[in-house]
Structure 1
Amino acid sequence: MNRLFLLPVLSASVLGLAACGSPEPDAVEATPGGEPVAVSDTRADTAATQTALALGLTRAELEEADLLSPGPEFTDLGDVETLVLDAAGKVTGLVIDLEGVDKDVVVPIDAVTSLRRETEIDLTTTMTAAQLQALPAYTGPGA
């Protein structure tokens, strides 16, 4: 699991852009041995566009999505807070604010699927609430 978050070091130009970002970023980039850093809106938009092709969601839809258990119950497991990018700008995970506990975790993007129901667009996962709570706490930007 930790290998997912160990990624190449950011270039100085990306770090410069990250320093100018908002205190609550829409996307962060994982760095080896360090805390995630905020990325620019342009980089986040590009990454979300690439992810949208896989999940069928725009960046705005991703950021507004709830994480639900599989149907028919569709229990609310948490809310998407932040996108997690790798050094190439690809979305590798989503920071989820877990429902009912004061904890944010990173859920791998390949562990979620999109769900469209009437006017709602959300994400589902086969991970249980207990499995999500067992993930390490996310403490990076926006947490």
Structure 2
Amino acid sequence: MKLYALTAASAAVLMLAACGDNRTDDVVQAPAPGAQPAQVTETRADAATADAALAFGMSRQQLEDADLLSASNTDLGDVESLVLDASGTLTHVVIELEGPGDVKVQVPVDQVRGLARNNGADKDLTTDLTAEQLAALPRWTPPAQ
């Protein structure tokens, strides 16, 4: 009976550990050339998203819900994912572009900045890139599940 209880407890601990190491495709590590992006743990994703949101002057929820606007306030797309380098630094924001085809592109983080609208109630990202320049950026392929 004690062996059964010990085995059950061990299994529960392993399941909890596995749950704590859930993977996400909302925040990923940049792939090696020709490879798929690597999923990161929820813990790493949470930290990276919080850091990125602060860098843009937003809350995490605002960043996850952000649109990408042009300099003239035209909606260019929506934030889809964040891409980290091997050290955990945000390098790109994946944007699902407005228009047909659900095209997702990788926008270098130095090409976007935070923007407060409606007296600061809404926050989005803005860029000086045009829709044509965004469409020419590298396409995003999400990590394999």
Q: TM-score scaled by structure 2?
A: 0.76
Aligned length: 122
- Provide the alpha-carbon RMSD of the alignment: 2.1
Question: Kindly, what percent of the aligned residue pairs are identical?
Answer: 50
Which residue does the alignment assign to 1:51? 52
- In 2, the alpha carbon distance for the partners of 1:85 and 1:78 equals 20
CA contact (8 A) 1:37 1:140 kept: no
| Cα deviation, residue 50, structure 1 | 2.4
- In 2, the alpha carbon distance for the partners of 1:141 and 1:65 equals 22
Residue 100 (str. 1) matches residue 102 (str. 2): no
Gap regions ≥5 residues in structure 1: 1-15
Q: TM-score scaled by structure 1?
A: 0.77
Which residue does the alignment assign to 1:83? 82
CA contact (8 A) 2:91 2:108 kept: yes
Gap regions ≥5 residues in structure 2: 1-17
Which stretch of structure 1 is more off in the superposition, 83-92 or 57-66?
57-66
Larger Rg: 2
Which residue does the alignment assign to 1:3? none
Q: Which runs of 4+ in 1 moved over 3 A?
A: none
- In 2, the alpha carbon distance for the partners of 1:95 and 1:86 equals 14
- In 1, the alpha carbon distance for the partners of 2:143 and 2:60 equals 18
- In 2, the alpha carbon distance for the partners of 1:52 and 1:62 equals 6
CA contact (8 A) 2:116 2:124 kept: yes
Q: Which amino acid aligns with 1:105?
A: V
Residues 32-80 of structure 1 deviation map (CA, whole Å, 9 limit, x = unaligned): 1211121112111211232233211222221110000013xx0000000
Which residue does the alignment assign to 1:29? 29
| Cα deviation, residue 20, structure 1 | 4.1
Residue 134 (str. 1) matches residue 118 (str. 2): no
CA contact (8 A) 2:22 2:42 kept: no
SS at match of 2:45: helix
